[in-house]
Chains A and B, each alone.
Chain A
């Protein structure tokens, strides 16, 4: 095909116009509306999933903090009791009777759910 003629055809094609029916816009508009609504739904769904995850994280971290605090308190009580019982800390000798009573006390504390 002659290049000049070909270029002319390309130009004519780019300028060629055919009007669609008016209904085409209404069909397109309703598709666009649906798309906008579904985008909004996705957005709010993502926000609520993030909020739920944060809430779960918050509950877990509070629970973990309380547990750690209780454990720390209990271990401090235990070590102070040991010190009271021990007449000679350097030698590391413990009164067996006092050790047994401490063991009983711990059992009672754990059944009450305080340890």
Chain B
């Protein structure tokens, strides 16, 4: 792996192709989680991989290379969403409501169930959900990244979980109707 990175730093075409083949599926999956439409996700993916391959000399070996690539993919996805002005988040629950939240059904949703309906979430809910649940950011960090308040981040997460559960239940009802 190290020798591929060194060759990529010298902009060798074969090494760049090899790196792309190693990580394309994982990295594209990240873009698909953030960006709703697959052709838009592909554009974001290409721009992000281009940045990875041309700025690879910025990777100094601190931390994992995969983690560095993932951060670039997430940042490019967020930049795309900001450009499209899809990150409007104005709904904020009262602080008391946030404090009163106890673990509920939505906290036990499986990964497959989430992925089945995630596309139907609004961009703001989906983004905060991704950053909190899959990238493991804290609300303070999400607030800094997105330029929102901590309470907005928390509200968006709660509302995202509720919406996911509603969508899954709706889908289950639809599937059972179709099967019967």
Whether B25 lies near A24 (C-beta < 8 A) is no
Contact with B along A13-33 (1 / 0, CB 8 A): 111111111001101110110
The total of Cβ contacts below 8 Å across the A-B interface reads 76
Q: Give every chain A residue within 8 A of B125 (Cβ-Cβ).
A: none
Whether A27 touches B108, Cβ cut-off 8 Å, given contacts A9-B133, A18-B32, A19-B25, is: no
Whether B134 lies near A19 (C-beta < 8 A) is no
Interface size on B, residues (CB 8 A): 29
Whether B133 lies near A16 (C-beta < 8 A) is no
Whether A10 lies near B24 (C-beta < 8 A) is no
Tell me the interface secondary structure of chain B in the complex: helix
Cβ distance B114 to chain A, nearest Cβ, rounded Å: 8
Whether A18 lies near B29 (C-beta < 8 A) is yes
Interface size on A, residues (CB 8 A): 27
Partner of A28, one of B26, B29, B46, B133: B46
Whether B42 lies near A20 (C-beta < 8 A) is yes
The contact sample of 7 A-B pairs, CB cut-off 8 A, is A6-B136, A9-B114, A13-B33, A17-B25, A17-B26, A21-B42, A29-B13
